[in-house]
Chain A
Amino acid sequence: MDLSSINPVLLVASLMVAATPILLAAIGELVVEKAGVLNLGVEGMMITGAICGFAIAVETGSPWLGFAGAAIGGAALSLLFVLLTQVALANQVASGLALTLFGLGLSALLGQGYVGIKPPPTPRLDIPFLSDLPGLGPVLFGHDLILYLGIALVAAVWAMLKYSRAGLILRAVGESHDAAHALGYKVVRIRIMAILFGGACAGLGGAYISLVRVPQWTEGMTAGVGWIALALVVFASWKPWRVLLGAYLFGGITVLQLNLQAAGVAIPVEYLAMSPYLITILVLVILSKDKSNAPASLGKIFHASH
């Protein structure tokens, strides 16, 4: 065992990268669920975003256009979910699952010509002096912009939900769509916007995997991250900062356990491998003792005639 070979600064820096895809997808899903819609298609939207972002970044040579394309791609796929659940009033659970299956297949099809191609590198923030600070530099100032965007989104969603009128309306729609409707709010329109936002965020998260974290395109490369993001929203009791905490905890322990393995720590590997799931769930369950409830209309179908 040689713990000294683990560099804490590099560890923190890489845990932030590992956590970002989950964070982006989860914060988008949180807004969707706050509006009373349960979209289980996160995985499908992520993988679609991953290939859309990758393809556009490769074709244009610009990672930023790639990320923009990923957000549009994710949102476009969620439009299908909108059609099914908001227009055709189909069951949300079934539609979400279908969206995931469809997204996985569609991305494999779109990605046919992109296997083994290298994407243009996503530039990192490089602030003279600040990025070179020992310790803090690589952790705080040495990442790419999308990582900061993820954190900024958490803050923005939190502030929006807590302080703004728009946030109040969104929550009202999620808690009781009938009451919100009676007050004259456009329930369906608000939900559609929330779903599109969720799709765009999931798309960004997927592209973060294919453009920054791995970076390459491989079929099925999100490998279940979307499901983890979904679970995270529940365990974080629909609170933005807890989503951030949960994502960093999960990403952090994932990276830490790999580092511990590499350093040959005498903990059985099986325990290390399950630790990210276990510890994240434990911490968030303990935190949610205050019984923050799910949005009351979550998953229910709304029709103005009811």
Chain B
Amino acid sequence: MKLTALLTNAAMVLGLATGVAAQDKTKVGFIYVGPVGDGGYTYQHDQGRLAVEEHFGDKVETVYQESVPEGADAERAITQMALNGADLIFTTSFGFMDPTVSTAKKFPNVKFEHATGFKRADNLATYSARFYEGRTVMGTIAGMMTKTNKIGYIGAYPIPEVVRGINAAYIAAKKVNPDVEFNIIWAYTWFDPAKEADAAKALLEQGADVLMQHTDSTAPSAAAEKAGNVITFGQASDMAEYKPTPRVSSIIDDWSPYYIERVQQVIDGTWKSTDTWGGIDSGMVAIGEITGLPEEVKKAAEAIRDQIASGELNSFTGPLNRQDGTPWLAEGETADDETLLGMNFYVEGIKAEMPN
């Protein structure tokens, strides 16, 4: 009898303890599309998560699930996280959009934030970075550096975010090198190092000497290094291990300030569903150190970066036509966010055909 009583007491104390802890702590969940060790996109989101832990210490508990496939199974993962008591959940890939929307409906008291999407609700905010501003800088370098005038581009999926990047890079490259040509491969995956390496090899074998990627691993840089005399760019993360070449610069996503700000708002009770789209000026997009390039190329790239940061230059400034020749932007006109968010066309000059 004594033992039973003791056990019951112990259980009650434990239960009480965890109950108190649960009330105190704000639980923040993250759903990742790749592994946290991908060295690119997901790695960078996880750095944001770690920054949240560091900033709030004991006040916040973070949980994450990595390598969640886009599509139906994502809903299970998000639901599970909400059931486990998360107060705020960041779903960090475009393909999580509809699963996040329907999970948000089921849990009106949980706050959701979906990266790179466009569907919002009272408890569902969206956030993204203007990666394309970085593409303008990389495109400038690519156009100046290519000798074969062929630039290879590995895209993940033909969604507006990726298409925007291709267009921005092409416009910038064409400006400094009118003969430039883009060869585009769709990998149909965000993360598959072997496939990304194969795609890189295919592009190199066809004469590309500059590789750009919108997939998440460092495999294209590894392939470029093996081939030699090719330059690449860090994508989402600095990918500094390939400095000084083949990786000559990078587009870095810095999510930490945003994540900290939003978690603080949840703690304070001031969180609102918003739409955030930060660029180079806000620091959400950073340009990694420029290495291994001639001085004039470096200077030109830095000038472009600074002009975008000051608002002097917009990545999409007319005159620009769509691929089929119909006019899009008049002289001096700049693109509005709505068109950019839904961008499903190439600009004039890109020869590849857009998958539907």
Quick check: B183 and A209 within 8 Å, CB to CB? no
Task: List A contacts of B170 (CB < 8 A).
Answer: none
Check B266 for interface membership: any CB of A closer than 8 A.
no
Q: Are B205 and A214 in contact (CB under 8 A)?
A: no
Using A223-B189, A263-B206, A273-B186 as known contacts, say yes or no to A218 and B198 having CB atoms under 8 A apart: no
Q: Is A216 an interface residue (CB 8 A)?
A: yes
Q: Are B39 and A220 in contact (CB under 8 A)?
A: no
Collect the chain A residues with CB atoms within 8 Å of residue B222's CB: 118, 214-216
- Closest B residue by C-beta to A266: B353
Complex alpha-carbon distance, A255 and B355, angstroms:
19
Question: Does A10 touch B at the CB level, under 8 Å?
Answer: yes
Find out whether the CB atom of A262 lies under 8 angstroms from the CB atom of B185. yes
Q: Which chain A residues border B241 with CB–CB below 8 Å?
A: 115-118
Q: How far is the CA of A214 from the CA of B224 in the complex (A)?
A: 10
Chain B residues, CB < 8 A from A137: none
Task: List CB contacts (< 8 Å) of A1-40 with chain B.
Answer: 5-7, 10-11, 14, 18, 21
Q: Is A254 engaged at the interface, CB distance under 8 Å to the other chain? A: yes
Q: Decide yes or no whether A259 CB sits under 8 A from chain B.
A: yes
CB-CB nearest in chain B for A264: B352
From known contacts A6-B206, A116-B218, infer whether A111 and B37 are also in contact, taking CB-CB under 8 Å. yes
Min Cβ gap B330→A in Å is 29
By a CB distance below 8 angstroms, the chain B residues around A263 are 183, 206
Residues on A with beta carbons closer than 8 Å to the beta carbon of B186? 261, 269, 273
B355 touches A221 (CB 8 A): no
Interface string of A111-136 (1 = CB under 8 A from B): 11001111001000000000000000
Among A209, A213, A218, which residue has its beta carbon within 8 angstroms of that of B218?
Answer: A218
Contact status A273-B202, CB under 8 Å: no
**Interface residues as binary, A154-195 with B (CB distance below 8 Å gives 1, 0 otherwise):** 000000000000000000000000000000000000000000
Residues on the B chain within 8 Å of A14, using CB: 198, 201-202, 205
Given A6-B206, A115-B37, A255-B202, CB of A264 within 8 Å of CB of B351: yes
- Do A214 and B206 form a contact, CB below 8 Å, given A220-B35, A255-B198, A264-B183? no
Asked if A108 is at the interface (CB within 8 A of a chain B CB), the reply is yes
A254 to B197, CA, bound (A): 12
Residue of A nearest to B183 (CB): A262
Which of chain A's residues have a CB closer than 8 A to the CB of B203?
Answer: 262
Q: Does A225 contact B (CB under 8 A)?
A: yes
Closest to A273 in B: B188
Q: Please indicate the chain A residues that have their CB under 8 angstroms from the CB of B106 in the complex.
A: none
- What's the Cα separation between A220 and B216 when bound, in Å? 12
Are B205 and A218 in contact, with the CB atoms below 8 A?
A: no
Q: Name the interface size band of chain A.
A: 35 or more
**Residue numbers in B under 8 Å from A118 (CB-CB):** 222, 225, 241
Among residues 155 to 172 in chain B, which have CB atoms less than 8 Å away from a CB atom of chain A? 158
Q: How far is the CA of A7 from the CA of B205 in the complex (A)?
A: 7
Give the chain B neighbours of A10 by CB distance below 8 A: 205
Q: Is B22 an interface residue (CB 8 A)?
A: no
Q: Which of A218, A220, A262, A266 makes the CB contact (< 8 A) with B219?
A: A218
- Give, as a whole number of angstroms, the nearest-CB distance from B243 to chain A: 10
Given A220-B34, A220-B67, are A259 and B194 also a contact pair (CB < 8 Å)? no
- Inter-chain CA distance A225–B189, complex, in Å, is 14
Q: Does B356 contact A (CB under 8 A)?
A: yes
Complex Cα distance, B187 from A223, in Å, reads 13
Are A254's CB and B205's CB within 8 A? no
A250-299: which residues lie under 8 A (CB-CB) from chain B? 254-255, 258-259, 261-264, 266, 268-270, 273
Report yes or no: B197 in contact with A270, Cβ–Cβ below 8 A. no
CB 8 Å contact bits of B26-42 with A (1 = contact, 0 = none)? 00000000111111000
Contact status B198-A223, CB under 8 Å: no
Distance in Å: Cβ of A284 to nearest Cβ of chain B: 21
**Bound-complex Cα distance A14 to B226 (A):** 14
Rank and list the top 9 A-B pairs by shortest CB-CB distance, nearest first. A116-B241, A219-B35, A219-B37, A269-B355, A258-B202, A223-B192, A221-B193, A5-B206, A220-B35
List 8 additional contacts besides A116-B39, A221-B194, A255-B201; criterion CB under 8 Å: A215-B222, A220-B37, A223-B194, A258-B202, A261-B186, A262-B208, A263-B206, A270-B356
Residues of B whose CB lies within 8 Å of any CB of A are 34-39, 67, 152, 158, 183-186, 188-189, 191-195, 197-199, 201-203, 205-208, 217-219, 222-223, 225-226, 239-241, 351-353, 355-356
